[in-house]
Structure 1
């Protein structure tokens, strides 16, 4: 049987599939719609990374039995259309949390210590810049987390126990949920007003589009920073840029964008107090291997007539 992998995954995942007797098919290696439609026609399974799998593409996967999303999100996969065609969809929900949590803490500390600006000025031979521009200690500061799933909880643990931060979280329906003792559940308005750092870890989709916009930004402290390592579109980027430019908030960090890759001419790229990274929260060697093995095993299970471990349920 043939596994369609148009964008490379970690070698361990491909070797696992080949050992199980499957043929790895890369097609043209392109991810435009025409290429996907042409290449997917003879394949039994697909491991999907960044390509967009909509109804039209899925329609041409006549032999497809499974589309395995390489990652924890699946905004680029039309799950409903796949289900209507009897195609199983899976994802990898448990493999990215550690890497994204570490990246979140990295960016939080970079913002607090003004690392980006200090490094830029030093390269200009401006060693004395540091005397008039000081960073802050995060111990005792308040971190507000919106989205207390696996990643959010891991960020909270690292911040509270490792950095001695006060952690609060907005949890829409806290009833029956296990909330660690070092996290205090608060209303969203309170989180926005009290947090020195706000970190977003919510799913994508229409429900959370523009979750943070002009109204929410106006409620934040002037000294506060906003971090988005969840999904593009959760933060209204133009309104965020405006808030930073007007000094309504101190700055922030974005690892995800409404459009990827983003336009580097956008206003947000002109801001000194914002760190921008190209969706690399989970982009580590270890994480890529974990994901590749995770999705490869689900592909093998489905093609062997068994149930996958991580089906997408809607």
Structure 2
């Protein structure tokens, strides 16, 4: 029996080749709107999903749908509860992009410390003497504070501690300070990270509990020399409060790979600031990670449709 796999947003060849070699019919969607996916999923057995939305109506439209496999780690674009209710397995690729996001985080830390984006802009404007006015800092012996100590957070810690000589502290609501994680001093109070860290890096999902929690109150606790790094989810940070913190010198600067609305509006107030570095949610989109995400997502589909226990299940189907 040949199974059909819908891919509403195209991926690199590695994941598609994995499926084709195993006899699957791969269908690339015409666009990623909910309406189109509902039409194109009708006779498909699986969806290999990227960033499009997958509400209950998509799952109900997929009369044969057995699995949605996420190309990446985050699943906040998928209605997990409805999938479970309908008996649809959700899988993801939680280890595929860890190194890429961790490297991107380190790159943003160094870019902040060295004022890379600002200095690039000044050189292009002919302001060579800015070298004598704006000073960079070293990251060695600075404190990196991690919010979230999952795979990516721990990878960032390892690179920062072993590669850059940084001191690392971390907070995770699911890990107490009685635990031991190599290279990380674990604290039980998130405010300890805000108070002590020179660089604060977010590595938590966007949930009802975490959305908007990095806000004015948090910024007031941080050092006025601190930098905020966000390669997690935009919704975690209150962007109005971030703007206020950056314009009032409550913190020194920030670097963000993610925003509350993506893509953002062209006249977003944050774009006015020269102490903020942006990247377009591409921390996970290295050549290597994109191939791994495709293969791991395809593996999840193959495992479910061949009756095997998925390696990376997101929900439990009884």
TM interval, shorter chain, is over 0.9
- 297, 300, 315: which one aligns with 1:298: 300
- 26, 29, 32: which one aligns with 2:28: 26
Offset, 1:175: 4.0
* Change over 3 Å in CA distance of 1:264–1:106 after alignment to 2: same
Question: What secondary structure sits across from 1:169 in the alignment?
Answer: strand
- 270, 277, 281: which one aligns with 2:279: 277
In structure 2, distance between residues paired with 1:58 and 1:152 = 33
Q: State the match for 2:143 in structure 1.
A: 142
Structure 2 matches for 1:80-91, cutoff 5 A? 80-91=81-92
115-124 or 255-264, larger mean C-alpha shift: 255-264
In structure 1, distance between residues paired with 2:166 and 2:309 = 42
Question: What secondary structure sits across from 1:233 in the alignment?
Answer: helix
Structure 2 matches for 1:173-188, cutoff 5 A? 173-175=174-176, 179-186=180-187, 187-188=189-190
In structure 2, distance between residues paired with 1:140 and 1:25 = 51
In structure 1, distance between residues paired with 2:315 and 2:179 = 22
Question: What secondary structure sits across from 1:207 in the alignment?
Answer: coil
Structure 2 matches for 1:47-66, cutoff 5 A? 47-66=48-67
In structure 2, distance between residues paired with 1:171 and 1:81 = 28
Q: State the match for 1:98 in structure 2.
A: 99
Q: State the match for 2:313 in structure 1.
A: 311
Task: Determine if contact 2:9/2:29 at 8 Å carries over to the other structure.
Answer: no
In structure 1, distance between residues paired with 2:29 and 2:74 = 24
57-66 or 301-310, larger mean C-alpha shift: 301-310
In structure 1, distance between residues paired with 2:302 and 2:174 = 37
Q: Deviations over 1:8-30 (max 9, x none)?
A: 112011011111111111232x1
Question: What secondary structure sits across from 2:244 in the alignment?
Answer: helix
Q: State the match for 1:165 in structure 2.
A: 166
- Gaps spanning 5+ residues in structure 1: where? none
In structure 2, distance between residues paired with 1:217 and 1:178 = 27
In structure 1, distance between residues paired with 2:174 and 2:312 = 24
Q: State the match for 1:230 in structure 2.
A: 232
Offset, 1:286: 0.1
- Gaps spanning 5+ residues in structure 2: where? none
Offset, 1:172: 2.6
* Change over 3 Å in CA distance of 1:9–1:252 after alignment to 2: same
Q: State the match for 1:7 in structure 2.
A: 9
Q: State the match for 2:221 in structure 1.
A: 219
Offset, 1:178: 5.0
In structure 1, distance between residues paired with 2:97 and 2:182 = 24
User: What RMSD, in angstroms, separates the aligned Cα atoms of the two structures?
Assistant: 1.3
Question: What secondary structure sits across from 1:193 in the alignment?
Answer: helix
Q: State the match for 1:78 in structure 2.
A: 79
Task: Determine if contact 2:179/2:186 at 8 Å carries over to the other structure.
Answer: no
In structure 2, distance between residues paired with 1:289 and 1:179 = 33
In structure 2, distance between residues paired with 1:270 and 1:235 = 18
In structure 1, distance between residues paired with 2:75 and 2:175 = 25
Q: Deviations over 1:256-275 (max 9, x none)?
A: 11111111211111110001
Aligned residues: 313
In structure 2, distance between residues paired with 1:275 and 1:176 = 32
